[in-house]
Every structure is written in structure tokens, then in C-alpha cells.
Amino acid sequence: MSHVRSPIRQKWVTNTDTYGQITADIVRPIESKMNLTWIAVTLLSAAVMLFGFAMIGWTIWEGIGTWGLNKTVGWAFDITNFVFWVGIGHAGTLISAVLLLFRQEWRNSINRASEAMTIFAVMCAGIFPLLHMGRVWLGLWFFPMPNTRGSLWVNFNSPLLWDVFAISTYFSVSLVFWYLGMIPDFATVRDRFAIQGRKISSRIYGILSFGWEGSSRNWSRYEVISLILSGLATPLVLSVHTIVSMDFATSVIPGWHTTIFPPYFVAGAIFSGFGMVQTLMIVTRKVYKLENYITLDHMESIAKIVLATGSLVGLAYMTEFFTAWYSGSLWERYIFINRAFGPFGWSYWIMFSCNVITPQLFWFKKIRTSMVLTFIISIFVNIGMWFERFVIIVTSLHRDFLPSSWSMYTPTYVEFGILIGSFGLFFTLFFLFAKYAPVVNMFEVKTLLKHPKKPDNLETGSEPVTV
Amino acid sequence: MAHAHYTSEQLTERFQFLGKYRTVIFGLIGVGLVLVLASWLLTDGSEATTHAADGHAAIESVHSPVQPVADTHGEGDHGHADHVPGVGTRMLTGTLISLLFFFTISMGALFFLAVHQVGNAGWQTAIRRVPEAMSLWVPVAGVVFLILLFFLGDLYEWAIIPEGVDAIIDKKRAWLNEGSFWFRTFVYFTIWIGGALVLRRLSVSQDSAASVEDGVSFFRKSTGVAAGFIVLFAFSYSLFTFDWIKSLEPHWFSTIFGVYVFAGSFGSAMFTLGLLLTFLKRQGYMSYVNDSHIHDVYKFAFGFTVFWAYIWVSQYLLIWYSNIPEEGIYYVKRYSVGDPAYIGGSFNIVWIINLLLCFLTPFLGLMTRNAKRMAKVYIPISILALTGHYIDIFQMVQPGALGKYWGFGMMEIGFFLIFAGLFLFVVFTALTRANLVPQRHPYLEESLHHTTGDV
Amino acid sequence: MKRNLLIGKYWDPEAVLKGLDKLTSQGVHIFDVFSPFPIHGVDPYLKSKRTRLTVASFIYGCLGFLTAVTMMSLIYGVVWPMNIGGKPALAFPSFVPITFELTVLFAAHGLVITFFIVGNYWPGKRARLLDIRQTDDVFIIAIDKDKLSDESSVKAVFTDTGAYDISETEYER
């Protein structure tokens, strides 16, 4: 970092000249009374979530025969949803960890919400493999424990088991990273409530803030561990989608087994995650009036990452297609032709146009700075990335090696219900977060404010307090 | 414009291509030539013919009737593995390895410039003339590749095996034929030489802008060029590696191959950059380059060491796990101990040393903060890692081009020295052509005050 | 330990750095600085030792690495060798992902737990604040009065560098 800033650099905090204003703007939703819109949307998402839970209950009660799977297409909707949600999560870690290592200042105001998105997305993702086990109550068998089941150990050669380790490590480390980032901000909220005399609220946030005082000795350690955690989270986030990709790529199924899968899945995950970040941020900055902290420049930077990763994904599609031909292998060649022009061809073209063509619009500054268009494109990205997983999974399976086994796949209402329910869960959690935690990282945004104005409400002679 | 710590002499200094550097460089080239000539002359004359002349095609056709029917990918690598390759092939292989070694480094440097331009990175401004100079090796390498184009048949079996002999190669003829290979190579180099020269020209012309404010327009233009270049680079570099390296074993395929070569080339570009910066500082130049700049260069080197290992594992693990013969052959060739049917017993040593030098050494060596700042640590690590990168390219090229007649000796060392000399000559010449620090660059002040902080 | 502190409150972090610079040049020992966000450049004035958390994290990582390798080698090599897909029982490439994950898991959680223990943080701990706004927009330089020979010069520095409030207080830590 350099203490000199080039005049051509963007201002990441606009129209703000005191630290107090940053605090006030960001804490406002927590301090203010619940408003009706918030209650309405939260209840709505909760209702959707409950509908999903009902479908989950039905699945557990009746078994996964309620899904549209068959012998040929034994993996379909739920694994698609699993990979989709895990992918969404990746942007949060990328913003909080990778961009921190790259000293990107603009991450400071979007990292909190994106990390929250990560946590909630991974929670949604976790539902699907658990359900697909059929007997969820035996989930503990995932872990390598000494047992009396004839010494039945887990299969360390199975990418599905690698997933268990990867997802649980990823979830717990992201959670800790996210929480650690909130500790100083919870302290700020605690003290704001203390000033207003709202003792119970102050105490609740006090418990959450672990007694943070803002001593420089602690800040110094705090910054060190943030950097180390970023250094750990960066390869971690790569490993997670790498391992997810290996669920497919270690097999011998044409269309699944290709060596580019690990980096390609990671690029796709970041792409889809940033699509979701766009969707969420455009709404959040508008509703909470945070346009001074999440500026158009922020949205442009995000759009550029969407463009870059979208193009990378496009490169991977084309490499795959080319190599399928180049391999000279009958099956490889067939499966890719079938993917694009077979019975599920429509899903391929939805995927291709949403993921490769639509983001190319972000080459234009006009589109990057138009929030309406960005929002629309971000929805396309989300749809496209869901279809990407669907295409990979279903089109590769439905044409088996044995033509007599060829079949089609149609999802049932139960599968749709669970997918919709997972969105309900995601948004319920996100709304709760947006109400009860600072959606923007206050202390990191404050570091971006240079040359503050003297606050006009400074008090002298205030006594020390214990909160 | 006030530069807090540095005099205007320091900020307008130019590199002097002194006689002693020339002596060393010409020495390298001279010794290299002698080694190459010696090993050429010492080779038995009767073998000293190239493939095109030795009736290779006839040998092939005797061998292969089984192949087209069985459709077993890769198993019978008839091309170069089945007969003693001539010294000509050995020389061309040596050329290709050393050429690729320095070429991938210069492409890494070029990508470094483009991606930092697009990413609005301030810290690298003070050092960017060095990667710029490195990127100017791309046009020179292009000329050598052009020469190699005339000898495709001696390097690539698909170029000499006639139609109807090898069913798998026949399926790829639309891609693997000399005409389109020539065409593609010209396209790649048009893109890269164009990118390198335009970025360089914009950077140098910025020096003569009237003020920093006037320089911004050059800077903006560079950003646009760099953004477009990155897209073209991603496609072309990937295809280039498929063409020039992967097709040495034309039955084999791996989608990740381009990423693998890219990971190695960016990492080794950073190691080279670190060495060059240290050299320049020790010669009294670039006093404004501080420990933090070096630290950041080696952070990249460290990061790409890990990234290289990640891509390596991805490719290896997936191929090993699936155990599909047409893919697995690639590694079977490289590590089956004592199986002369493929490549001869001891190649696995090369393969293991490659892993140790490319991953383990820099990973453990550069882990701490101090290691990235202390020359006595990072210089040996860089040299080891670059050796590893050479071996990496060696193990990509030789098993395909020479098969079980692989070897490492005076020939390979000779070519390496020749190309090292040429590379340094180009880089040093490029450094003399402009100020060592870009003038009127909007991020120059930031870079001069760059610090990575206490962590 | 109870201490008597002399504190200067600022509203501008740049001024804090100036104050610290002047104070340390006069040989004053700085007890601590409190701020709503980390101010870059404060650490050298506090003369605190470089944290060894990086080393700790490395050790935890090694521990995770060993745990993973030992666990999998013992289970598949000794306790219950299994032939899966014709691979050897000890199929090390297959162990890479889990080994990596456990290394990161141990390194990250070990690091954070150590941080909480070293800094004495726990849920529900009460915070002792010199100013209720020190987590919002107030920056404080605190100096141990008992170690001070010349109070007035410190106060003068505080005033010169733009402290808006100077006071004395008892503090326990």
C-alpha cells in the first residue's frame, strides 16, 4: 500500500466527510424500527422456505422416489442445485480474501454482504447431498469414526467424501472469517445503543462483540490474522470447487471427465457468485440508501469481474468442445454434439447465451453503469449458471454407453419445490442479516475516508465507561 | 512534480549496456555454439540424418497395420519412438526446449504487463520497464519459431505420417496439418508481437508527454489495448500450447494443458523478473525499487508456484484416477520405472525432480515474509525454480519428440546457453532504449512510495 | 493492574500519527492507542513485538497435515486395507484433497482460537472504554502517567497536534 493516491483513482466513498456519518448511515437499519416492507418480504421468503421444508419432509418420508430420477439419469436436479449454491458462495470468499491480498480497496464496502451470501449459499447447498443420501439420519456415517458396523470406514478415494471435508472446512472457515470481521462493527453497534440508553440491545451486541475495545495492539494482531486467513481462504476456495468438479471429472463419463474441470468450475463459480453479488448489491444499496459506499464505480468493478470470468467460462466451453473433437474419441465427440444439438440442446443454448454472450455487454461503460441493465444481466447470469450444471450433469448422463439405456429426465414438483424452498431459505437468512448486522463493513470503509472533516458534536470531559 | 525522495537524475537514468555485459553474453553464446557443434560432430555420422530424409514414412507403414483397426489411443506411439532419431531431431528438440523456456517467460512478462494495466495496479509502475524489456523477446522468439516451422516433420510425427496409417491422427487432420499449423502460428505471433509492441510503444511515448495529466491519455489507451489483448491472449496461448507442445504426442489430449503451461510461464516470469531487478539494483540502477517491490514480485512467484502445483495436481489426479488408457499413456511414459517400451527407465527421475524444483523448493523457500525480501534466500530459490521450469518444459517435449532416445547432454546445455545469451542481449538492449522508470505515469508517485506494510 | 492514564482524544487519525511521532521523539512511552479502525503506521510507535501468530498458524497447519496423512494411512494401510477401483490401498493422490482440507482447517481455526485467547476475547466480556465513541469516530492516545516525568510537555504535544480533549483517568487491564 502506498500512502500516496493517484488523482486518477476513483473515490470509493463519496459525499461523506466524517467517520460518524459512515457509522450512522450503516447502522441506521439496525437502530430503526422494523418497517413493514421488511417484515413483508421476510415473511414471504419464510413462507417459501417453509414450502421447501414441506417438500423436504415429503422426500424424507416417502424417499427420493418422489424425484424424477431414473436408472440412467441417477443424478440430476439436486446435484445441479448443490453445485449452483456452492458456486454462488465463491464470490464472497473471493471478495473478502483474494481481493484483500490484491489490495483492492473497493472490496471494503461489499465484503460483508458477500461473505454473508457465501455462508447462506453454502447452507442451502448442504441440503441437497444430505437429501440425496435418502436416509439423512445416517449422515454421521460420512465421518471417519471407529465403529461397530464391521469396521466400515469411509472411502477416502471418493470425491464425494472429499466434498464432505471440503464443504465443512469451507463453511466453518468462512463463518469464522465473516464473524471475525463483524466483531469490531458489533462493538460499534453496542456503543451506539449504549449512547442511546438501549441497554438490552447494547448488551446483546456486547456479547457478540467479545469485548472489543479497539486497542492498537489488538488491531495489529487482527490485521495479521485477517491476512493469514485470506492466504488460507484463497487456496481453500479454489479447492472447494475443484473438489466439486472432481465429483464429475474423476469418472469415465464423456462430458464429465476432462482435465480442465477444476479451474473451469472455479471460474464458473466466481462468475455465478458475482452475478448474485450484483443482484443483491443493486437492491441493497438502493433500499438502504448506501449509494455513497457502494458506488457506481463499485458496481462497475464487479461488472468487469463478471465479464472476465464469463469470458473464461466461455474459453473453457470452447476448449472442451474443441478437445472433444480433437481427442478423436467416438464417445467424447458424440456427447458434445448431443449436448448442443440433442434433445436437451435448448438447455445448452440457454447456458451458452446467458454465460458467454450476455456478459459481453459489460464491455460497454453505459451498460456497466446502468443499474437496471446490470440487474437484468445479473439475473441472466444466475439462470445461465444454474443451467450450466444442469447441462453438464443431465446431458452427459441421459445418453448412456448402451443405447438401450438411453432416457430422458423430467423433474417433479417435489424437486422444484426444494429448489424454490432453498431460495426462500437463502433470502430469509439474508433479510435477517440485513436487519440485524451491519451490511457494510464500517471499520474498513472508514479506512478509505481520507482527510475527514472535524465532527461538530465532539464532547469534552466524557468519563470512561464499561459496556 | 515533486518526487519526495529521488533526484531527477535517478528518475531519468538509463541502463548502460557495458562492454563487460557484452563479453559475458557473447561468451554464453560462444560456449553454447561450441557445445552444440561439438556434440553434433561427436555424434556418429551415419545417424546424422533428419527424418524427412530417412524414409521415416516407410518405417511407419511397416509398423502400423494394427493401429487404425484397434483404435487404441496412444499405446503404440509409432512416430519417433520406434527408431533412432537423427542428430537433427535432437538439435531441433534442444532448440525447441530452450526457445520455449525463454519464450514462456517473456509471455508471462507480457501478461503481467497487460493484467496489471487492466487491474489499475500502482505498485508495479516503477519496475514495469523490466517486464516490458522481457516481453520484447516475443518478436525474436517468433523468428526462431518461424525457422522451426520448416522442420515440423522432424519434430512432430503427425507431420510425416501419411494418411491412412494412423486412424487417430487421421481424425485430427483438419487441425493437425502443416498448412493450418503455419497459419495459426502466424496468427498467434501477429497477436502477441502486436500486443507487445503496442503496449511498449504506448508506455515509451508516455515518457515524452508534457505532463502527468497529458500522460493519462496514453495510460487509458494502454488499458483498452491490454483488455483486448488479454482476451486474445487467453485463446491464442492455450491453442499455441496445444499446437506446439501437446501435438508432440498427437494421440494424447488434455483440456487443461494450456492453463498448465500458462501457470508455469507466469511463475517463471516472476522469478526472472526478481533476478533481473536484483541484478539491476546491484549494478547501481533503480535505487527507487525497494524491498516492498521485490516482496510483491515474489508474492506473485509464490502464488503461481502454488497455482502451478494446483494445475499439476488437477491434471495428474484426474488422469490417474480415471485410468483411461489414451490419457494415462502420458504419465505412464514419464514415470513407469524401467519400462523401455515407452521411454526408458530413468525418466521418472526427471519427472520427480520437476515436481521438487517447481513446487516444493519455492513453496517452502518463499513461505516467510523475510525470504521474499532477502536476496540470499530468493536468488538461490529463483535459480532452482527456473531450473525446475526448464525441466518442466524438457519433460513436456522430449518424451514426445525423442521417445526412448531422450537425453540430456552438451547439446541441450549448448542450446540453453545460446538462448540465454540471446535473451539477455534482447532484454539489455531493450532496457537501454528507454528510461528505467516510466515518466508521466499517473501511478508513478504511488509506486515510488510503495510499501507492503508491516505484514 | 490499575493504572493512571493521561489521555488525548483526537478526531483525525493523521493528527494521531503526528502526536505519536512527537511524543516518542521526546522519549515518552505510549501505553496504547484506541481507534475505530486500524491506523497504518501506529505499530512502530507502540514498540510491540512482532506477533508470532503466523508461526502458530504454520504449526497448526503442519498438525492438520500430519493428522490427515496419519489417519488415512492408518485406516487404509493398517486397519482396513481396501481395493477400490483397482487402486492400491494407499492411493496417495487420492489423499491430496483431504490432506489439504484438514491442513487449512487446523491452520485457520487454530489461528483464530489462539487470537481469541491471546487477546482475551470471549463472548460476553465487558469492554472498558475510555470514550464511548472510540469505536465510532474518536481516536485516543493513552499514556501511563506513573511512568511519566514531565506531564505538561505531553499535554502541550496533545494540544499542539490537535487533540480536542485531554483528561486523566484510572484504567484497569
Hey, what amino acid is at A364?
F
CA-based nearest residue in chain A for residue C86: A157
pLDDT of residue B300: 94
Inter-chain contact C40–B321, Cβ cutoff 8 Å? no
The DSSP bridge partners found for residue C170 are C4
pLDDT digits (tens, 9 = 90+) for B424-434: 999 999 999 98
- Residue B455 located in a structural domain: no
Give the mean pLDDT of A233-258. Answer: 93
**Number of domains, chain B:** 1
pLDDT of residue B65: 35
Inter-chain contact A315–B324, Cβ cutoff 8 Å? no
Mean pLDDT in chain A? 92
- Residue B304 located in a structural domain: yes
- Domain ranges within chain C, ordered by starting residue: 2-50+132-172, 53-118
Q: Which of C133, C121, C110 is nearest to C57 (CA)?
A: C110
CA-based end-to-end distance of chain A: 35
* C-beta of residue A114 within 8 angstroms of C-beta of residue A92: yes
Q: Which residue has the cell 552438451?
A: B410
User: Is C121 at the interface with chain A, CB within 8 A?
Assistant: yes
Of the pLDDT bands very low, low, confident and very high (cuts 50, 70, 90), residue A187 is very high
- Residue B14 located in a structural domain: no
> How close B328 gets to chain C, by Cα (Å)?
14
Inter-chain contact C46–A209, Cβ cutoff 8 Å? no
Q: What architecture is domain C2-50+132-172? A: 2-Layer Sandwich (3.30)
Instruction: Say if strands C2-10 and C139-144 run parallel, antiparallel, or are unpaired.
Output: antiparallel
- Cα(B254)–Cα(B174) distance, rounded to whole angstroms? 18
* C-beta of residue A395 within 8 angstroms of C-beta of residue A324: no
Measure CB to CB from residue B314 to each of A4, A8, A259 and give the nearest one: A259
CA-based end-to-end distance of chain C: 6
Instruction: Say if strands C165-172 and C128-129 run parallel, antiparallel, or are unpaired.
Output: unpaired
pLDDT digits (tens, 9 = 90+) for A124-181: 999 999 999 888 988 888 888 888 776 688 889 999 999 999 999 999 999 999 999 9
Mean pLDDT in chain B? 86
Give the mean pLDDT of B290-311. Answer: 94
| Confidence check: pLDDT of B64 > 80 | no
Q: Which residue has the cell 535432437?
A: B90
pLDDT of residue A119: 95
Measure CB to CB from residue A323 to each of B251, B253, B447 and give the nearest one: B253
Of the pLDDT bands very low, low, confident and very high (cuts 50, 70, 90), residue B304 is very high
Least confident of B149-153, B390-394, C80-84: C80-84
Q: Can you read off the three cell numbers belonging to residue A225? A: 490474522
- The reply to whether ipTM tops 0.90 is yes
| Confidence check: pLDDT of B49 > 60 | no
DSSP for residue C87: B
Dihedral pair phi/psi, residue B236, rounded to 5°: -70, -40
| Confidence check: pLDDT of B266 > 50 | yes
pLDDT of residue B73: 39
* C-beta of residue A241 within 8 angstroms of C-beta of residue A222: no
- Cα(A442)–Cα(C36) distance, rounded to whole angstroms? 9
Share of chain A above pLDDT 90, in %: 77
Domain range for residue A62? 19-140+155-444
> How close A248 gets to chain B, by Cα (Å)?
10
Least confident of A92-96, A187-191, B54-58, C111-115: B54-58
pLDDT of residue B71: 37
Alpha helices in B323-443 (DSSP H): 325-335, 347-355, 361-365, 375-401, 410-432
Hey, what amino acid is at B218?
F
> How close A7 gets to chain B, by Cα (Å)?
8
Q: Which of A96, A104, A111, A89 is nearest to A227 (CA)?
A: A96
- Cα(A280)–Cα(A95) distance, rounded to whole angstroms? 14
Share of chain C above pLDDT 90, in %: 49
> How close A326 gets to chain B, by Cα (Å)?
6
pLDDT of residue B340: 59
- Residue A3 located in a structural domain: no
Burial-class residue A448 by CB neighbours within 10 Å (0-12, 13-18, 19+): middle
pLDDT digits (tens, 9 = 90+) for A387-434: 999 999 999 999 988 999 999 999 999 999 999 999 999 999 999 999
Residues 283-322 of B with CB under 8 A from A: 306, 310-311, 314-315, 317-319, 321-322
User: Is A26 at the interface with chain C, CB within 8 A?
Assistant: no
Q: Which of A228, A251, A444, A453 to mutate to test the interface with C (most CBs of C within 10 A)?
A: A228
**Number of domains, chain A:** 1
- Residue B25 located in a structural domain: no
Q: Which of C7, C14, C37, C100 to mutate to test the interface with A (most CBs of A within 10 A)?
A: C37
Q: Can you read off the three cell numbers belonging to residue B238? A: 492455450
Instruction: Say if strands C128-129 and C139-144 run parallel, antiparallel, or are unpaired.
Output: unpaired
Alpha helices in B370-409 (DSSP H): 375-401
Q: Can you read off the three cell numbers belonging to residue B382? A: 529463483
pLDDT digits (tens, 9 = 90+) for C51-69: 888 899 999 999 999 999 9
Hey, what amino acid is at A234?
T
Residues 6+ apart with CB under 8 A from B298: B270, B274, B366, B371, B372, B373, B378
What's the whole-model pTM score?
0.92
Q: Can you read off the three cell numbers belonging to residue B286? A: 533503480
Please tell me the number of Cα atoms within 13 Å of C137 on its side-chain side.
21
> How close A157 gets to chain C, by Cα (Å)?
5
Give the mean pLDDT of B118-145. Answer: 93
CA-based nearest residue in chain C for residue A188: C135
pLDDT of residue B342: 64
Inter-chain contact C121–A187, Cβ cutoff 8 Å? no
Inter-chain contact B442–A8, Cβ cutoff 8 Å? yes
Share of chain B above pLDDT 90, in %: 58
* C-beta of residue B399 within 8 angstroms of C-beta of residue B333: yes
CA-based nearest residue in chain B for residue C84: B321
pLDDT of residue B31: 95
Q: Which residue has the cell 474441470?
A: A261
The DSSP bridge partners found for residue C30 are C143
pLDDT digits (tens, 9 = 90+) for A277-327: 999 999 999 999 999 999 999 999 999 999 999 999 999 999 999 999 999
Hey, what amino acid is at A160?
L
The DSSP bridge partners found for residue C7 are C142, C167
Domain range for residue B382? 38-70+86-112+121-198+235-448
| Confidence check: pLDDT of A30 > 80 | yes
Q: Which of A396, A359, A429, A432 is nearest to A256 (CA)?
A: A396
Burial-class residue B18 by CB neighbours within 10 Å (0-12, 13-18, 19+): exposed
Q: Is the Cα dihedral A22, A23, A27, A31 positive or negative? A: negative
- Cα(B109)–Cα(B103) distance, rounded to whole angstroms? 10
Of the pLDDT bands very low, low, confident and very high (cuts 50, 70, 90), residue B2 is very low
What's the Cα-to-Cα distance from C84 to each of A464, B321, C89, C100, rounded to whole Å?
A: 66, 11, 7, 21
> How close A135 gets to chain C, by Cα (Å)?
24
* C-beta of residue A157 within 8 angstroms of C-beta of residue C85: yes
Q: H helices then E strands: how many in chain A? A: 17, 1
- Residue B230 located in a structural domain: no
Residues 6+ apart with CB under 8 A from A33: none
- Cα(A210)–Cα(A221) distance, rounded to whole angstroms? 15
Inter-chain contact C46–A217, Cβ cutoff 8 Å? yes
